[in-house]
């Protein structure tokens, strides 16, 4: 059963002044375009239609806020790393993200979504730096692990743990399609949100 039966879409922000009120606690989901962010949000909230899943990478250029319970939110940050995005769009993304990570008091942790077939990228490392600089925690989901065999998934898990050798970062394998690692991700989120 869903831990958050009343989860609902709250608001979208394209500009800094449109962010949801900064109170309570929230967890941000970030990752490359097409890494499986929206699918992961749907899996951990057990609501298949909550965050839109697109086959066209980079479509989500908004910060989308979802309310899990009063004063408890999930945030779907716009994806990055999509080659066809114009420079002007990329700069706007950068400004909005820097603003978000700088000001957000209610942010308790970052769930970083990384396609397990690609591994941790440069921009992923920057996201981790931003959140660690604010003394927040991070949890990496190596998504789409159903696409890898046992040996390769264990290798990418080990390599990612080595690359994220900071006490505030944890890493796990995840597959929304294979229903793998959903409980583990939910436990981390519940702990961060103080819901357990
Ligand atoms: N095999 C497999 N495919 C997945 C999994 N999770 C997501 N996908 C697929 O990956 C594609 C992108 O998923 P999204 O959830 O839309 O990714 P996103 O990161 O939200 O993408 P943007 O919002 O466009 O940046 C879709 O075609 C999904 O069906 C998974 O666990 N396994
Ligand atoms: Mg998405």
> How many Cα atoms sit within 13 Å of 135 on the Cβ side?
1
From the CA of 136, how far away is ligand 1's center (Å)?
26
Any idea which residue has 């900064």 for tokens? 22
31 lines ligand 1 (CB under 6 A): yes
Q: Residue 39's closest CA among 24, 19, 18, 57?
A: 57
Q: What is the mean pLDDT of residues 41-53?
A: 84
For the cut 50, the answer to whether the pLDDT of residue 116 exceeds it is yes
For the cut 50, the answer to whether the pLDDT of residue 28 exceeds it is yes
* Beta strands 137-143; 8-13: pairing state: unpaired
Mutation probe of ligand 1 site: the residue of 39, 56, 111, 143 with most atoms within 8 A of C-beta: 39
Q: What is the mean pLDDT of residues 5-18?
A: 91
State how far the Cα of 80 lies from the Cα of 124, in Å rounded to an integer.
9
From the CA of 111, how far away is ligand 2's center (Å)?
14
146's tokens: 């159903």
Positive or negative, the Cα torsion across 49, 51, 54, 59? positive
Q: Which atom of ligand 1 is nearest to the CA of 178?
A: 31
From the CA of 74, how far away is ligand 2's center (Å)?
13
With a threshold of 0.85, does the pTM exceed it? yes
State how far the Cα of 98 lies from the Cα of 95, in Å rounded to an integer.
5
For the cut 90, the answer to whether the pLDDT of residue 3 exceeds it is no
Q: Residue 174's closest CA among 2, 64, 39, 33?
A: 39
90's tokens: 């990329």
Task: Name which residue leads in pLDDT, 6 or 31.
Answer: 31
79 lines ligand 1 (CB under 6 A): yes
127's tokens: 């996201």
Instruction: Encode pLDDT of 65-106 as tens digits.
Output: 999 999 999 999 988 887 777 888 888 889 999 999 999 999
Say what the pLDDT of residue 1 is.
46
Say what the pLDDT of residue 5 is.
81
Weakest mean pLDDT among 49-58, 131-140, 150-159, 175-184: 49-58
Say what the pLDDT of residue 22 is.
97
Report how far apart, in Å, the C-alpha atoms of 13 and of each of 31, 49, 118, 139 are: 17, 20, 29, 24
């Amino acid at each position: 059963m869903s831990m958050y039966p009343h989860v609902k879409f709250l608001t979208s922000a394209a500009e800094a002044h449109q962010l949801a009120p900064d109170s309570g606690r929230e967890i941000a989901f970030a990752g490359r375009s097409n890494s499986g962010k929206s699918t992961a949000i749907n899996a951990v909230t057990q609501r298949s239609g909550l965050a839109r899943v697109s086959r066209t990478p980079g479509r989500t250029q908004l910060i989308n806020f979802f309310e899990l319970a009063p004063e408890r939110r999930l945030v779907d940050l716009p994806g990055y790393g999509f080659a066809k995005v114009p420079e002007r769009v990329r700069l706007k993304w950068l400004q909005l993200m820097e603003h978000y990570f700088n000001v957000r008091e209610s942010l308790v942790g970052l769930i970083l979504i990384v396609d397990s077939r690609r591994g941790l990228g440069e921009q992923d490392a920057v996201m981790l730096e931003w959140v660690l600089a604010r003394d927040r925690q991070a949890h990496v989901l190596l998504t789409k692990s159903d696409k890898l065999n046992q040996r390769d998934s264990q290798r990418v898990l080990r390599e990612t743990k080595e690359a994220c050798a900071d006490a505030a970062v944890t890493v796990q394998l995840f597959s929304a399609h294979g229903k793998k690692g959903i409980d583990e991700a939910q436990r981390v989120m519940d702990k961060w949100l103080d819901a357990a």
